[in-house]
Every structure is written in structure tokens, then in C-alpha cells.
Amino acid sequence: MSITRDEVAHLARLSRLALGEEELDNLAVQLDAIVSAVARVQEVAAEDIPPTTHALPITNVFRPDEVRPSLSSAEALSGAPAAEEERFRVPRILEEED
């Protein structure tokens, strides 16, 4: 298993990281080393082993359908890099997804 620089560039786009050329080069080398090391997990886990996603077997944790106080718009916007008309101001959006 080896990870190419192109793959790292694709992963960087998927994870919205505008990485420089040098960063991509370094990451490709490091990731390749890490992935070859951690690929050990494939040695042990047989098909019939169920995956664990939660350490403790808790189910059905719900809250009642009750309205609780919200933040004020001032609190909501307090950390916003830019705001306008009580809304979060963001750079132009390319296109709706979903």
C-alpha cells in the first residue's frame, strides 16, 4: 500500500486544506509511512468480529421535545468573522449542494 502525492492532493481538496507544494510532498512521505504502519490492523481482524463504535453498550438516549432558551442573535454572532443584518456574512457561495 502506498499513498501518492496526487492522492494527498485529492484528500486535501476533500478536507478543504489549501496545502503548499512542499507540504504536499512532506505529507505524502509521512502518510505513506503511517499508513503502512497502521495497516497492521488488517492482520488480526477476522470477518466475523463485529466493529465497536461505542465503548459502552448504551442505547436510546433521548430528550423530551421541549423548547429551551436559545442564544440571542448577538451572542450567536459574537465570534463571527463578519456579520450583516443579524446574519453571518460569508464569501460568495459557488452552488447549492443538497
Q: Is 5 in the site for other proteins (CB under 8 A)?
A: no
Smallest distance, Å, CB 21 to other proteins?
12
CB atoms within 10 A of CB 27: 19
Query: What is the smallest separation between the CB atom of 5 and other proteins, expressed in angstroms?
Result: 12
Distance CA 40, CA 10 (A): 24
The dihedral region occupied by 63, where left means phi > 0, alpha psi between -120 and 50, and beta the remainder, is beta
59-88 residues in contact with other proteins (CB under 8 A) are 59-73, 75-82, 84-88
> 73 Cβ partners below 8 Å, 6+ apart?
86
**Residue 39 contacts other proteins per CB under 8 A:** yes
Which amino acid is residue 43, in one-letter code?
E
Among 4, 6, 17, 25, binds other proteins (CB under 8 A): 17
- CB of residue 26 to other proteins, shortest distance in Å: 8
User: Residue 73 CB, nearest distance to other proteins (Å)?
Assistant: 4
Residue 29 binds to other proteins (criterion: CB under 8 A): no
- For 94, other C-beta atoms within 10 Å of its C-beta total 6
